[in-house]
Structure 1
Amino acid sequence: MSEYQYYKFERLDGYLDAKARQALRAISSRAEISATSFQIVYNYSDLKAEPHQVMLRYFDIGFYYANWGSIDAYIKLPAGTLPDALLGFSSDGLHVHENDEWQLLIFSLEEYDEYFDDENAEDFFQHLASLRSELIQGNWQLLYFMWLRALDIGDDVDAIPLINFDFNHISDELRAFAQLYDVPFALIKALAMTLAALPSHQAKQAQFQIDAWLSNLTDADKNTLISAIFKQGQLTRQQALAMTQKESVNTEETYRYWLTPDTIEPYIETAQSLFQQEQAEARAKKLAIEKAAKEKTLADIYNQRERRWQQAQEQADRTCASGYDYASHYLHQLFEAYQFSADEAAFDQRFKQFIAANNSRKALLNRLSDLL
């Protein structure tokens, strides 16, 4: 099997100037490079730079996968966004690179054994901006997912602060992350049960209020923002906040309550049973909905049966493969609709007439052999 590697990086805050784009072009002569993005696929070659260094210098989110099963998702945050206490647990799946300006999180899978292609990569990439925004706003559930994943695969995980995030309700983006990174939903439920039973720290998720922010800006802040807008052409909200921030986002606090394997263990078995029950109920509900929809479709077909017989004959009269396929499709639908309406005898009579009218069309008859 040949090598195949996919890289995609994107800048969410601001633009890549000409100098930055020139530096990126030196890294890859074939990459698709725009004012906000970099994308390249390699066969028998590789990126001429360390991806984490490219991310730290130029981009805010990124994604990499290789056809041998490696996957990396990159999320870059302003320095101090996440407390050190939340980043210190050991995990093969989470790597952190920090400098004076940024915290770069790399979420890694070494052996992803499901089918994965560029379309899957593009679909998942669409979630990264929202995941980054949630982290910046103080929703740190993503880090707990990686802790749970490490616990599930048997790693010796260190304690992390027990902060009362709402794990009973997670966003679609977090759900997509949990599915790709194989974070057990039963363990997420166990964590929610742990939080409900034990004392924990209150989550401090920031709800941005633009009026309050504007009223607190000094003249110097406003001049800084106006100057930056003239230089760059625009500013994102995160850029503006970072430029006017008076103190570190991550003011270290003393944590009294901690999540450890021992604190969550008493709730895991119950959570697994509840999760299995919920899954069974969800499957039953889905089947009931599908059954009702199928029955409605069959009832509609039966009520319009004369038109369907006419359509089947019109398609048969085209005397071509696609016409025979359509005719067969209509007849099989009619067969199910008559069965659903307990009118099999009427179907048999009309079907015999149809066969008699098309007896010379062997290719069509072959398609209807299971109804003969």
Structure 2
Amino acid sequence: MSEYQYYEFMAIDRPLTCEEQEELRSLSTRARITATSFTNEYQWGNFRGDPRRMVEQYYDAHLYLTNWGTHQVILRVPKRQVTQRAVEPYCVDEYVEAWTTKAHLILDLRSEDESGDWDEGAEDSLGTLAGVRAELASGDHRALYLAWLSGIGAWALQDDDEDEYQATLEPPVPAGLDRLTAPQRALADFLRVDADLLAVAAQASPPAPAPRKRPGKKELAPLIAALPETEKNDLLLRLALGDEPQLGAELLRRLRGEPPVATVPGQRSVAELLDAAHALATERRQGAERVRVEARAKKPAALAAEEEAIWRAVEDHVGCKQAARYDIAVALLVELRDACDHVGRGPEFRQRLAALRDRYRHLPGLLRRLDDRALRG
């Protein structure tokens, strides 16, 4: 299979000007460029642009996919809404990186799968993944924790020092890990977060608070009047500049005194999380195997209960005197023999089988197939 790379960029907070679109055209003559998007695919060669710089200068979200297993999403968030200090505990070398520009914080999240399995529909993920930006801006750090889980899941596949696993503690655990939003669920899937690891992590996660009803004029008017004059001026200036689409949500949280989504201090080591996830996966596999064993155990009894119907089916197939129908009849008899042996009716089965062989002794093709499967009565 030839190499395949997919690049997509999205402008959310403001559309690009015509001049900016022309600047980007110099990076690719084949890209589909609009005021809010940049998309290109490569089956040979490489993209000449630097995705990180493009996000720093132009775009709010970027998705990159390859058919050798790379999944990458880069998000840009205003520094007023997410600080680097809040993000740093969730960073994992190569998998979760963060840096700042003059006005923004940039998050680079990556997952690698050397098996190269292609995820159908992953190219359509950016629209949903971009919803994580607004959640981060609201103080919801579940996406950061999911990215960290993806990183340590990949870390566990490497031949690293066990002592480091024991010494590294998890970052703050956000509330609501057991009830992810649609963007968070999409991010977990895109970054290949192990389901068992997420289930273990969610055990220490407090419940997410229920969303509050949007306030009306009567509630908001006195709250706005009580704001300090300097803060009002600052908010009006930011609103007039138009660079912060999330400003309205930020103002509502400020007026109502809503804290960001709660977190609790991380207390478990990476080793504890990985071991617990492994134990959960083992328990789940063993449970599934028990179900399969029980189903197999029930099957002979069920077949034996249908003995008369199976004999009628055998007679119907043999009566057609066709090789393919003989094969079906013999397969049914093999299953019925094993089922009758399982429930203690083997002698009765063999007595009826002997009668069938005698009745159709003039059909050598059938008799040969019965002999091949040791169905001799």
| TM-score normalised according to structure 1 size | 0.60
Q: Assess if the C-alpha contact under 8 Å between 2:96 and 2:147 holds in 1.
A: yes
Aligned to 1:273: 279
* Partner SS for 2:26: helix
Counterpart-to-counterpart distance in 1, 2:326 and 2:36: 58
- Structure 1 counterpart of 2:103, from 101, 104, 107: 101
Counterpart-to-counterpart distance in 1, 2:142 and 2:312: 60
Counterpart-to-counterpart distance in 2, 1:147 and 1:98: 19
Q: CA deviation at 1:7?
A: 0.3
Aligned to 2:53: 53
Q: Assess if the C-alpha contact under 8 Å between 1:8 and 1:38 holds in 2.
A: yes
Deviates more, 1:171-180 or 1:238-247: 238-247
Q: Assess if the C-alpha contact under 8 Å between 2:69 and 2:117 holds in 1.
A: no
Distance verdict in 2 for CA 1:269–1:30, change over 3 Å: closer
* Partner SS for 1:144: helix
Q: Does 1:136 align with 2:93?
A: no
Counterpart-to-counterpart distance in 1, 2:128 and 2:246: 18
Counterpart-to-counterpart distance in 1, 2:251 and 2:72: 30
Q: CA deviation at 1:174?
A: 3.6
- 1:138-287 equivalence runs, <5 A: 138-152=139-153, 153-154=155-156, 156=164, 161-171=171-181, 173-194=183-204, 209=214, 211=216, 215=221, 225=239, 228=242, 237-238=245-246, 240-241=248-249, 257-259=265-267, 261=269, 265=271, 269-270=275-276, 272-278=278-284
Q: Assess if the C-alpha contact under 8 Å between 1:139 and 1:205 holds in 2.
A: no
- Structure 2 counterpart of 1:113, from 97, 112, 115: 115
1:151-210 superposed Cα distances (whole Å, 9 cap, x missing partner): 4425658656534423333345444544443433443344344567xxxxx989996846
Aligned to 1:38: 38
Counterpart-to-counterpart distance in 1, 2:67 and 2:273: 37
What RMSD in Å do the two structures reach over aligned CA positions?
Answer: 4.8
Aligned to 1:319: none
Q: Assess if the C-alpha contact under 8 Å between 1:62 and 1:73 holds in 2.
A: yes
Q: CA deviation at 1:148?
A: 3.4
| TM-score normalised according to structure 2 size | 0.59
Structure 1 alignment gaps of length 5 or more: 197-201, 229-234, 289-335, 360-364
1:51-93 superposed Cα distances (whole Å, 9 cap, x missing partner): 0111222222221122333331122222143341432544221
1:262-293 superposed Cα distances (whole Å, 9 cap, x missing partner): xx6556645543454356657989999xxxxx
Counterpart residue type for residue 96 of structure 1: A
Q: CA deviation at 1:31?
A: 0.8
Counterpart-to-counterpart distance in 1, 2:241 and 2:245: 15
Counterpart residue type for residue 36 of structure 2: T
Counterpart-to-counterpart distance in 2, 1:141 and 1:267: 17
Counterpart residue type for residue 116 of structure 1: W
Q: Which has the larger radius of gyration?
A: 2
Deviates more, 1:207-216 or 1:73-82: 207-216
Distance verdict in 2 for CA 1:67–1:266, change over 3 Å: closer
Q: Assess if the C-alpha contact under 8 Å between 2:62 and 2:75 holds in 1.
A: yes
Q: Assess if the C-alpha contact under 8 Å between 2:98 and 2:108 holds in 1.
A: yes
Aligned to 1:298: none
Counterpart-to-counterpart distance in 2, 1:132 and 1:260: 27
Counterpart-to-counterpart distance in 1, 2:103 and 2:266: 28
1:267-322 superposed Cα distances (whole Å, 9 cap, x missing partner): 6645543454356657989999xxxxxxxxxxxxxxxxxxxxxxxxxxxxxxxxxx
Q: CA deviation at 1:113?
A: 1.8
Q: Does 1:371 align with 2:328?
A: yes
Counterpart-to-counterpart distance in 2, 1:259 and 1:100: 34
Q: Assess if the C-alpha contact under 8 Å between 2:145 and 2:174 holds in 1.
A: no
Q: CA deviation at 1:346?
A: 4.9
Counterpart residue type for residue 99 of structure 2: H
The number of equivalent residue pairs is 296
Distance verdict in 2 for CA 1:273–1:17, change over 3 Å: same
Q: CA deviation at 1:28?
A: 1.3
Distance verdict in 2 for CA 1:25–1:162, change over 3 Å: same
Aligned to 1:125: 126
Counterpart-to-counterpart distance in 1, 2:308 and 2:186: 44
Q: Assess if the C-alpha contact under 8 Å between 1:7 and 1:40 holds in 2.
A: yes
Q: Identity across aligned pairs (percent)?
A: 21
Counterpart residue type for residue 61 of structure 2: I
Structure 2 alignment gaps of length 5 or more: 226-231, 295-302, 330-377
Counterpart-to-counterpart distance in 1, 2:102 and 2:23: 22
Q: Assess if the C-alpha contact under 8 Å between 1:94 and 1:106 holds in 2.
A: yes
Counterpart residue type for residue 165 of structure 1: A
* Partner SS for 1:27: coil
